[in-house]
Copies of this chain bind each other. A is one copy, B any other.
Amino acid sequence: MSQTDPFRATRALFDLPDGLVYLDGNSLGALPKSVGRRVADVISGEWGRSLIGAWNSAGWVDLPRRVGDRVGRLIGAPAGTVTMGDTLSIKVYQALAAALDLKPDRRVILSDTGNFPTDLYMAEGLIASLGRGHELRVVEPEAVEAAIDESVAAVMLTQVDYRTGRLHDMAALTARSHAAGALTIWDLAHSAGALPVDVSGAGADFAVGCTYKYLNGGPGAPAFIFVAPHLAANVRPALSGWFGHDAPFAFEPAYRPAAGVERMRVGTPPILALAALDAALDVWDGIDMGTVRARSIALGELFVREVRTGVPDLELASPADPAARGSQVSFRHTQGYAVMQALIAEGVIGDYRAPDIMRFGFTPLYLGEEEVRRGAAVLVDILRTGRWDTPDFRRRNRVT
């Protein structure tokens, strides 16, 4: 990792507390410096000066499309195939409802135990609403491929497992799904901005994701949805809101879907949040995802090596092969919660997922080799000294 690498420049674009080792960008990305100024401009300059007129004069109406195109570039989606808004849960619902509608003779939604719970919950809610006997079939990640058969309407997967980081092969599973006549819905929450993604190349039908992890859009930032162009015009929007109408300001009594992916817009777009995200996306200008991936793997491998050199018996929960995982590394520890509290108390921020997972995310845009070494060293020291296990520490951190 030379001194002339592109990430020296991107690191300077982020505002991070001095001395913090932030290994949780896979949960909430760090703050790009440009966000505060942009949001302040939108509030005082656009809203405050132009008021209602800003919907046109400041281009608010088109912001979901413009931001969608910027996200699209990072996931291999052509211009005009991604739009923004709502939350990932809502976008999962829209994609799944559309997919089931396109496959009226099939009743199975196939997913896996590595999917993020809200995706499964939204499927449950949709199935109950439809009341037509759909089944949510959840298998182990390794069993997905074999479970794709001609009963399956939609294969709904998160590409990168939020706990272990295990990475699905999007192209292969999409091809397998299509061969069985099923549609695919890819949740890219832990993929977008984390590794090269090519929804077009993979032939994905739908893709959704959040933007507050690797895309650094801020807490609760708007979600994205991609619909393959050949499907978009045939999709019936279950959440048929006025901003997805072909003519929102004609105030027609009946719904007519907009052309293409714009029909996946629902209500009035969240302008402050979209502006924050739009500013946050500036840090990706000129960045090649292949370069990000190479550095992400180097940082993850460095972390694993340093930790296992110090604590050889700590169990890696992630695939050992970096090509088989996303941009995170997870370890198992029966007292993972307490260990993570001790780490956080010493300025190394990862997170914990029940029952025993300690997660560490690698975000090359603002995380360097020195911080990764330091994070690993603190983890090793905590585990060797057992200082997460003193009565005083446990009391102060409410570890039970």
* Best-surrounded residue of A113, A122, A269, A344 (most CB of chain B within 10 A): A122
Q: Is A253 an interface residue (CB 8 A)?
A: yes
Contact partners of A35 in chain B: CB under 8 A:
43
Contact partners of A276 in chain B: CB under 8 A:
43, 272
Q: Is A240 an interface residue (CB 8 A)?
A: yes
Q: Is A267 an interface residue (CB 8 A)?
A: yes
B267 lies within 8 A of A89 (CB)? yes
Contact with B along A253-287 (1 / 0, CB 8 A): 11100000000001111111110100000000000
Total identical chains: 2
Supposing A52-B351, A267-B87, A267-B89 touch, asked if A255 and B124 sit within 8 A by C-beta, the answer is yes
B52 lies within 8 A of A31 (CB)? no
- Number of chain A interface residues as a range: 35 or more
Closest CB in chain B relative to A90 CB, distance in Å: 6
A87 lies within 8 A of B87 (CB)? no
Bound together, the chains give a CA A344 to CA B88 distance in angstroms of 39
* Best-surrounded residue of A22, A255, A274 (most CB of chain B within 10 A): A255
Q: Is A353 an interface residue (CB 8 A)?
A: yes
Residues of A within 8 A of B (CB): 15-17, 20, 22, 24, 27-28, 30-31, 35-36, 39-40, 43-44, 47-49, 51-55, 60, 85-90, 93, 97, 101, 113, 116-118, 120-122, 124-126, 128-132, 138, 210, 212, 218-223, 236-243, 245, 250-255, 266-274, 276, 344, 349, 351, 353-354
Q: Which 6 A-B pairs have the closest CB atoms?
A: A87-B267, A125-B240, A89-B241, A89-B267, A118-B242, A219-B271
